[in-house]
């Protein structure tokens, strides 16, 4: 499932086409994805101008001039692809329609944004913009990793109250927004912290050290276009490349890349999910 870097990469790719643009025609080709689309979604989108395209955690949020916000979750295989962009940033020709093109936005000027989702775990909803943060998908999400509210003092207090392993704590979207399995594994390796360690047992100094590492990992991943392991594509259809920079994720049995570390990357299972780490340099 896409994590923060993948969703932010998609947002940045869509922004030049969507922000300030008007949706000339919206087509909704089925009644639902993970759950039903909101009533009359095509009519509520058609003719609307996109004032701002933002992101909250792993959700895209398009504020419309109608006073509504379109919330989009890509799910496991969802892609939002741009074609026919008059600015020349993407291919000019629209591709032939595909079976899993579930929502299509025809923009004034000729660009097209297509939401394609073969597994149909994605979702869309429309909500009043002034109440968007209270939407049930967003209301319990913690601070953004790049925001001022996510700082050393906040994380220290949040983790000292957790008796779970630090890996599980960082995956909790109520604690910090947008982190998923890949980037928590990579963060903990760079910080030299074992994923098995109880969060509450970490010293304040070690907890504080996680904040800049989390930000650095996410920034590098965004610059690389995210990680394409199975389904992720950027809005122009290209793959992300951060998977080529993984230090531990999906590298079981390979040498640890930490300088002078003799360890080998191991895989364990925590809460039903694979965790990759170095048992030697992560303590």
Contact by Cβ (8 Å): 7, 58:
yes
Given the residues 3, 6, 8, 68, select the one marked as catalytic.
3
Query: With 0-12 CB in 10 A as exposed, 13-18 as middle and 19+ as buried, what is 18?
Result: buried
Contact by Cβ (8 Å): 5, 226:
yes
- For 169, phi then psi, to 5°, come to -65, -45
pLDDT tens series, the chain, 283 aa? 688 988 998 999 899 999 999 999 999 999 999 999 999 999 999 999 999 999 999 999 999 999 999 999 999 888 898 988 655 555 557 777 789 999 999 999 899 999 999 999 999 999 999 999 999 999 999 999 999 999 999 999 999 989 999 999 999 999 999 999 999 999 999 999 999 999 999 999 999 999 999 999 999 888 887 764 454 455 555 545 466 789 999 999 999 999 999 999 999 999 899 999 999 999 9
User: Which letter does DSSP use for residue 95 in this model?
Assistant: P
Decide if 58 is catalytic: yes
Decide if 273 is catalytic: yes
- Residue 245 has a pLDDT of 82
Ordered by where they begin, the domains of the chain are 4-134 (3.20.190.10), 152-277 (1.10.8.50)
CA distance 165 to 141: 20
Residue 43 tokens, joined: 């009519």
Give which of 67, 79, 168, 72 is closest to 118, Cα–Cα.
Answer: 79
Decide if 99 is catalytic: no
Question: What is the DSSP track for 191-236?
Answer: HT--TTSBGGGS-HHHHHHHHHHHHHHHHHHHHTT---SSS---TT
Contacting residues for 195 by C-beta, under 8 A, at least 6 apart:
165, 166, 167, 184, 185, 188, 268, 270, 275, 277, 282
Given the residues 49, 160, 196, 273, select the one marked as catalytic.
273
- The SS3 of residue 12 is helix
Give which of 200, 206, 193 is closest to 160, Cα–Cα.
Answer: 200
- Residue 140 has a pLDDT of 96
- Residue 20 has a pLDDT of 96
Contacting residues for 26 by C-beta, under 8 A, at least 6 apart:
41, 42, 43, 45, 46, 103, 104, 105, 106
Given the residues 48, 56, 58, 112, select the one marked as catalytic.
58
- The SS3 of residue 60 is strand
Torsion angle defined by CA atoms of residues 171, 172, 175 and 177, in that order, rounded to the nearest 10 degrees: 70
- Residue 181 has a pLDDT of 93
Contact by Cβ (8 Å): 228, 238:
no
User: Which letter does DSSP use for residue 243 in this model?
Assistant: G
- Residue 89 has a pLDDT of 57
pTM of the model: 0.89
- Residue 106 has a pLDDT of 96
HSE-CB for 133 with a 13 A CA cutoff = 4
- Residue 97 has a pLDDT of 79
């Amino acid at each position: 499932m896409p994590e923060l870097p993948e969703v932010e990469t998609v947002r940045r790719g869509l922004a030049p086409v969507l922000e300030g643009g008007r949706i000339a025609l919206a087509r909704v080709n089925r009644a639902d994805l993970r759950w039903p689309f909101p009533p009359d979604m095509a009519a509520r989108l058609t003719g609307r101008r996109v004032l701002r395209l933002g992101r909250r955690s792993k959700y895209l949020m398009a504020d419309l001039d109608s006073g509504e916000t379109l919330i989009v979750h890509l799910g496991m295989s969802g892609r939002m692809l741009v074609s026919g962009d008059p600015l020349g940033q993407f291919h000019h020709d629209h591709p032939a329609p595909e079976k899993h093109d579930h929502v299509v936005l025809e923009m004034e000027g000729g660009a097209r944004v297509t939401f394609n989702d073969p597994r149909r775990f994605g979702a869309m909803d429309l909500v009043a913009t002034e109440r968007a943060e209270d939407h049930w998908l967003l209301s319990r999400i913690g601070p953004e990793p790049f925001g001022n509210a996510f700082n050393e003092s906040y994380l220290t207090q949040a983790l000292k109250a957790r008796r779970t392993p630090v890996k599980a704590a960082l995956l909790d979207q109520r604690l910090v927004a947008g982190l998923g399995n890949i980037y928590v594994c990579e963060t903990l390796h760079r910080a030299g912290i074992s994923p098995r360690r109880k969060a509450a047992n970490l010293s304040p100094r070690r907890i504080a050290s996680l904040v800049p590492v989390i930000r650095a990992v996410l920034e590098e991943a965004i610059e690389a276009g995210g990680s394409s392991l199975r389904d992720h594509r950027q809005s122009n259809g290209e793959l992300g490349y951060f998977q080529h920079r993984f230090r531990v994720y999906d590298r079981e049995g390979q040498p640890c890349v930490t300088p002078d570390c003799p360890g080998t990357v191991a895989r364990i299972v925590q809460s039903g999910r694979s965790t990759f780490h170095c048992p030697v340099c992560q303590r």
